[in-house]
Amino acid sequence: MMKLDTANRHDWQGFTRILEVMSFLDEIENNSSDDIQEKIEGFCELPPNPSQTMSMEEVVFWAGVATGMEYWRHAEEETLDPANAEKMLVFSSIFAHSMKNAIVDLALGDLEGEEKKPLQRFGSIVR
């Protein structure tokens, strides 16, 4: 299992975008079609130099989204039987719930780590 270095803001940036997409999907029924289109266009804009600015977590997440979309296409075209499509839907909802909990646990662990650090005292520097 890959260890997440939460001191690296780059890692948190990827998880923030992942949570943003997951939250959007949870609330999609409450958005207008214009809002949905605007948010999706924002999600699909690649950052400058994506090979240097996107975290591995973000790349894996978007690969999962793409795979899910392809699976959905096959389900719509009835290449898959409904029972298998239902199994995958259940699995994806469990995975999404687990992902959200894992991110919350990481954030809480990061906060606990900060509480244990001794406070640094900053003195004035006279030159």
Q: Taking residues 4-31, what's their average pLDDT?
A: 74
What is the pTM (predicted TM-score) of this model? Answer: 0.59
Q: At 34, which amino acid appears? A: D
pLDDT digits (tens, 9 = 90+) for 75-127: 889 898 889 888 888 888 888 888 888 877 777 776 666 655 554 554 545 44
What is the rounded distance in angstroms from the CA atom of residue 29 to the CA atom of residue 77?
Answer: 24
Tokens (6 digits) for 63: 């690969």
53 pLDDT more than 80: no
Give every CB contact of residue 15 below 8 A, 6+ residues apart in sequence: 55, 57, 103, 106
Contact present, 71 and 88 (Cβ < 8 Å): yes
Token look-up 């978007």 returns 62
Q: At 96, which amino acid appears? A: A
What is the rounded distance in angstroms from the CA atom of residue 72 to the CA atom of residue 80?
Answer: 9
